[in-house]
Structure 1
Amino acid sequence: MKKKHSLTLLALGLMLSLNANAAFINGSFETPRFTPGTADWTLYSDSTEGIGWKTTATDHQIELWSDNFQGVAAYDGAQFAELNANQVSTLYQDVAGIAANSILDFHFAHRGRLGADTMQLDIVDLGADNLFGGGDDTTLFSNQYSDDNTAWGFYTSDGLAPIVALGNTLRFSYISIAAAGGNPAVGNFIDAADFGVGVNDPSPVPVPAAFWLFGSALAGLGVFGKRRTA
């Protein structure tokens, strides 16, 4: 029975991995997690383990807020990010391994801090050299979003023209455009971000037929183990 249980767990793990969007990291900015009662906001280096994001800011600082700090509730989870940390800058992730001709999806929440703030979402194929600004980049999507400080706006790629991957590394970027109050260190809250293939689809990712063949083989091994035990 122990062997059968282990095989069942293996099959379940493989199935979960097939349904996971593992390319995008820390979309709701829950890592690093604040220690309750010790901090309401914190600056982290973009090299911090688990943070997942990079910034174009020259000081490499990313600003995270805790839920309900200054009356702003996180859209998702217990933390969110302020795009303008110490500078007007861009938060981005580079995502590799998405096959050419895949249809890309995204979603995210955006909110102003002192009033109406504006940011831009860019999705850029980095070309054969997989380097940003290498001369062969292709912008697959670009759009600006504005929200005031009374509520989060939530945006998805649903209903838009298909965003088609070219097969190279992709850069997913939030770019600070404008912030109320004129302070470069204030504005543009971001939360609940995700990007990849099928991220807006609530149904499970179709499981390849090969998996079910493998699952049948595991089931056979389980039965065999049971008969030997008996």
Structure 2
Amino acid sequence: MNRTHALVPLPQRVLLLGGAVTLLTVPAAGAAGAAAQPAPPKTPPPAACVSANGGFEQPGGLTSAGNLRTDIPAWHTTASDGAIEIWGPGNAGANGGEVAADSGRQFAELNGTQVSTLYQDVATNPRTILVWRIAHRARTTTSDQKDVVRVKIGTPGALTVQVPLGQSSGDIADGGISWGHYTGIYRVPRGQRVTRIAVESVSSAAGSPSYGNFLDSVEIFCTPPCPKATKHSPRACDTLGLPIQPHQPVTPGVRPGHPVTPPGVKPVTPPAVPGAKPATPPYAPGAKPATPPYAPDVKPVTPPYAPDLKPATQPHAPDVKPVTPVTPVQKPVAPPIVAGTPLTPPSHAKPATSAGQTRPAQAPEHFADGYLIAPPDTAVPLPRPAR
């Protein structure tokens, strides 16, 4: 085998020919004029956990029903003829009515010419969480007549039936009125670099081996492996085994989304609009704005010298009445009563009789039982009339 190499400078040999010195350069054998050829590029490994052609849109441009193809990218079938049936727009009549795809324009029927399983292999990283989704529908025209499929995942030689979230069984059953959507998770075990995702036809309500189980919107994606729990994070994954996203730290005292006024700087007050209420600044939610002095419907704060306050009363205030001196009322002094002097009874007193004789009426203040009361309570006989 002839191998070519890049030209390499070789040491010159000095030959003595007939006493003359001649410099000859001797190149390497087989290398004159040959160019170096680059090594063939290495094929990159497939991306981990990436499914392809999940909507059966390739090859595109397929219409009506019953397109049996053997060139569907990424998908394989267990059918003996290797044919996968694709439906496209304009399929009315094949099923009694037009069936629209769940996503895109095309979808597949698992039972092409016989009961079969569709599958594809994807590269996976061990100990990651694989999440799968599919859309399924029966090839019937009622909701009661249902087709059944199952999702199987594992190594190419050992597949395990998967149970969709929210179900207790792996059977996925749907009628022919609308698409059913299902999601599940699969934990990739240690050392598993290739994982097979398969959808198996279980039964068809039509009862024919070439009818039933429409399939569309198949997708998978993987999450990083669940980290080990620590004393600071005892729950690293949720109940499904998916890693819990850490909460973003919140800086105390700072409200995001609101401008903060630097200390010592007063906010700019917008120009006043007559009759309009001032707007609350965005950095003080819920606070009542101070009433500016130009608001016409707001009463200003009364200063100490406001005219509606009554001033303190001074001695010279005109509304204070002067004190009028009160002259005491003096009662007339009654003349002294002399004992033995007859008294004239008052005009309102009635004459009193005693033992057939008349005696003067008693004055309320000076008479008591015919005797004149004189201080100090000495009884004075009344004068008798002359006979």
Bin the TM-score by the shorter chain: 0.5 to 0.7
Query: Is 1:183 aligned with 2:204?
Result: no
Contact kept, 8 Å, 2:68 with 2:85, in 1: the verdict is yes
Query: Is 1:144 aligned with 2:171?
Result: yes
Q: Of 113, 116, 124, which aligns to 2:139?
A: 113
Q: CA deviation at 1:77?
A: 0.2
Residue 364 (structure 2) aligns with: none
Residue 23 (structure 1) aligns with: 50
Contact kept, 8 Å, 1:140 with 1:164, in 2: the verdict is no
Q: CA deviation at 1:139?
A: 2.8
Query: Is 1:88 aligned with 2:115?
Result: yes
Aligned-partner residue type, residue 86 of structure 2: L
Rg bigger for which structure? 2
Deviation readout 1:93-119 (Å, 9 max, x if unpaired): 0112x1111111011100000231000
Q: CA deviation at 1:140?
A: 7.2
Residue 228 (structure 2) aligns with: none
CA distance in 1, matches of 2:161, 2:86: 28
- Aligned-partner SS, 1:176: strand
Query: Is 1:164 aligned with 2:194?
Result: no
Question: How many residue pairs were aligned?
Answer: 161
The gaps in structure 2 that reach 5 residues or longer are 1-46, 93-97, 164-169, 224-244, 246-387
Give the number of the structure whose residues are more often strand, by fraction: 1
Contact kept, 8 Å, 1:104 with 1:196, in 2: the verdict is yes
Provide the alpha-carbon RMSD of the alignment: 2.2
- Aligned-partner SS, 1:197: strand
CA distance in 1, matches of 2:216, 2:205: 19
Q: Percent identity?
A: 37
TM-score w.r.t. length of structure 2: 0.39
CA distance in 1, matches of 2:159, 2:49: 23
1:50-61 aligned within 5 A: 51-61=73-83
Contact kept, 8 Å, 1:21 with 1:196, in 2: the verdict is no
1:121-136 aligned within 5 A: 121-124=151-154, 126=155, 132-133=156-157
CA distance in 2, matches of 1:57, 1:174: 13
The gaps in structure 1 that reach 5 residues or longer are 1-19, 127-131, 199-205, 207-230
Contact kept, 8 Å, 1:140 with 1:163, in 2: the verdict is no
Deviation readout 1:125-147 (Å, 9 max, x if unpaired): x2xxxxx33xxx36373522000
- Aligned-partner SS, 2:171: strand
Give the number of the structure whose residues are more often helix, by fraction: 1
Aligned-partner residue type, residue 109 of structure 1: A
Gap change, CA 1:39 and 1:139, over 3 Å in 2:
closer
Q: Of 46, 62, 69, which aligns to 1:44?
A: 69
CA distance in 2, matches of 1:67, 1:83: 18
Aligned-partner residue type, residue 111 of structure 1: R
Query: Is 1:66 aligned with 2:88?
Result: yes
Deviation readout 1:15-44 (Å, 9 max, x if unpaired): xxxxx9872110000001125xx6544110
Residue 103 (structure 2) aligns with: 76
Gap change, CA 1:31 and 1:102, over 3 Å in 2:
same
Q: Of 221, 235, 243, which aligns to 1:196?
A: 221
Contact kept, 8 Å, 2:121 with 2:196, in 1: the verdict is yes
Aligned-partner residue type, residue 28 of structure 1: G
Aligned-partner residue type, residue 139 of structure 1: T
CA distance in 2, matches of 1:168, 1:22: 10
Higher relative contact order by CA 8 Å / sep ≥ 6: 1 or 2? 1
Deviation readout 1:182-201 (Å, 9 max, x if unpaired): 10000000000002315xxx
